[in-house]
Amino acid sequence: MPKRLSYFAFLLAFGLFVFLLVTISSYHIRHTVLNGGFWSPAIAAEPLSVNFGDVSVADDLHREITVKNTGWGALVFESVRPSCSSCIVIHSYPKEPIPPGKQGKIEFSLDLSRQRGNVDTSFIIVSNVESQKAVLVKVTANILDVVE
Cα–Cα nearest to 140, from 19, 43, 61, 53: 53
Edge-to-edge strand list for the sheet holding 117-127: 49-55, 134-143, 117-127, 77-82
Tens of pLDDT, residues 40-68: 889 999 999 999 989 887 787 899 999 99
So what's the pLDDT on residue 148? 46
**148 occurs within a structural domain:** no
Q: Among the listed ranges 18-22, 63-67, 121-125, 127-131, which one has the minimum average pLDDT value?
A: 18-22
CATH number of the domain enclosing 135 = 2.60.40.10
pTM for the whole thing? 0.70
pLDDT, greater one: 71 or 32: 71
Buried b (16+ CB within 10 A) or exposed e, 47-70: eeebebeebeeebebeeebebbbe
- Is the pLDDT at 6 greater than 80? The verdict is yes
Domain membership of residue 110 as a residue range: 43-143
**58 occurs within a structural domain:** yes
Count other Cβ atoms within 10 Å, centred on residue 41.
23
How many structural domains comprise the chain? 2
Same domain, yes or no: 105 and 89: yes
